[in-house]
C-alpha cells in the first residue's frame, strides 16, 4: 500500500488517502504546538515517539476489546488506520485536577477527583474549541443520544484500561483527550491518537510531568520525556 493524495495536514500529523477508500495513511510530524497552533516549534524525534506510543496503546486497547481505528504501524513515523467520519468532539476525562479544569473551577492542581469527570469540547478552531454540554452536542447535530451514550461508555472504559496500563509503569493518568469517529455502518469507535500530546502523565514517585505540559509550560526538553514514556511502555509490553 502507498500514500496517495494528501487529505488533511494538521498540527501533529498528515493524513493521506490510499488505494483502499477505507484506509488512511497517517504520518506523524516532528513538531509541537500549543495555544491552538499559535505557538509552533520543530521537534526532531517527536514523530516516531508518538507514532510508536499511540500504536502500542491502541493495540493494548484492542486486546481489552476496546474497538479503535488502528490497523498497523508501517514505518518509524507512519501507520495505517481505518478512515472514519470524525465526530467533532474532544472528549476529555479527568482523574486529577489540572490544566483548564483547575483554573476554571479553582480546584488546586493535583487534587484527586472523587470520580472521573467527563467533558466535551466542540472541535472548531475558529471558535477555539469551546466547552459544551450534551444539549449543545444535540443542538449542533454532532451526535445522536445513542452515540453520546456510546461515546461516554467507551470513554470511561478507555479511562479504566489506560489508568491500569500507566499505573503499571509508575505513571498517574491525570487526564486525557480522545476523539471518536463513525464507520460507514454507523459504528462509533475510538480514533485519532493517545500520546503524551493528548494526555497528562505524572510520574508516580516524583510528580514530574511526562507529557506536553513540558512544552506548554517551558519545563525543559520534550523529546527525552516522551522517550522515557516509550521506554517504560516497551519494558512492560515488549
> Which cell numbers hold the place of 120?
466535551
- d(C-alpha 54, C-alpha 58), whole Å: 6
DSSP letter for each residue of 68-133: BSEEEEEETTEEEEE--EE-SEEEEEEEE--HHHHHHHTPPTTPEEEEEEEEEEE--GGGT--EE-
Residue from the set 82, 119, 203, 208 that interacts with ligand ADP by CB under 6 A: 82
DSSP string for residues in 70-84: EEEEEETTEEEEE--
Q: Which does 69 bind (CB under 5 to 8 A by kind): ligand TMP, ligand ADP, none?
A: ligand ADP
Residue 86 beta carbon to ligand TMP: minimum distance, rounded to whole angstroms: 14
Q: Which is nearer to ligand ADP, 71 or 107 (CB)?
A: 71
In the complex, the smallest distance separating the C-beta of residue 229 from ligand TMP, rounded to whole angstroms, is 13
Q: Binding marks (x or -) toward ligand TMP, 199..238, rule CB under 6 A?
A: xx--------------------------------------
Show contacts with ligand ADP in window 164-183 (CB under 6 A). Answer: 179, 181
Using CA atoms, how far apart are residues 134 and 144, in angstroms rounded to an integer?
A: 10
Of residues 189 through 228, those in contact with ligand ADP by CB under 6 A are: 191-192
160 touching ligand ADP, by CB under 6 A: no
Nearest to 57 by CA among 150, 159, 151, 156: 159
162: nearest Cα among 120, 196, 189, 119: 196
- The yes or no reply on residue 66 touching ligand ADP (CB under 6 A) is no
Q: Which of 45, 88, 99, 116 binds ligand TMP (CB under 6 A)?
A: 99
User: Strand, helix or coil at 89?
Assistant: strand
Footprint on this chain of ligand TMP (rule: CB under 6 A): 92, 98-101, 129, 175-177, 198-200
Footprint on this chain of ligand ADP (rule: CB under 6 A): 8, 10-13, 15, 24, 69, 81-84, 86, 179, 181, 191-192
Amino acid at each position: 500500500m502507498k500514500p496517495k493524495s494528501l487529505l488533511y495536514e494538521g498540527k501533529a500529523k498528515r493524513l493521506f488517502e490510499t488505494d483502499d477508500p477505507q484506509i488512511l495513511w497517517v504520518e506523524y510530524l516532528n513538531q509541537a504546538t500549543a495555544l491552538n497552533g499559535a505557538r509552533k516549534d520543530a521537534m526532531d524525534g517527536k514523530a516516531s515517539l508518538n507514532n510508536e506510543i499511540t500504536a502500542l496503546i491502541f493495540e493494548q486497547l484492542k486486546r481489552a476489546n476496546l474497538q479503535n481505528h488502528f490497523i498497523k504501524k508501517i514505518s518509524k513515523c507512519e501507520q495505517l488506520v481505518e478512515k472514519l467520519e470524525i465526530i467533532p468532539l474532544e472528549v476529555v476525562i479527568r482523574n486529577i485536577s489540572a490544566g483548564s479544569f483547575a483554573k476554571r473551577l479553582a480546584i488546586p492542581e493535583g487534587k484527586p477527583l472523587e470520580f472521573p469527570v467527563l467533558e466535551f469540547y466542540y472541535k472548531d478552531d475558529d471558535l477555539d474549541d469551546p466547552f459544551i454540554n450534551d444539549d449543545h452536542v444535540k443542538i449542533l447535530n454532532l451526535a445522536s443520544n445513542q452515540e453520546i451514550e456510546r461515546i461516554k461508555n467507551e470513554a470511561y472504559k478507555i479511562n479504566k484500561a489506560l489508568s491500569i496500563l500507566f499505573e503499571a509503569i509508575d505513571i498517574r493518568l491525570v487526564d486525557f483527550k480522545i476523539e471518536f469517529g463513525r464507520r460507514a455502518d454507523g459504528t462509533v469507535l475510538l480514533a485519532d491518537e493517545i500520546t503524551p500530546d493528548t494526555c497528562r502523565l505524572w510520574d508516580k514517585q516524583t510528580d514530574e510531568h511526562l507529557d506536553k505540559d513540558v512544552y506548554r509550560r517551558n519545563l525543559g526538553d520534550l523529546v527525552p520525556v516522551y522517550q522515557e514514556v516509550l521506554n517504560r511502555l516497551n519494558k512492560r509490553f515488549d
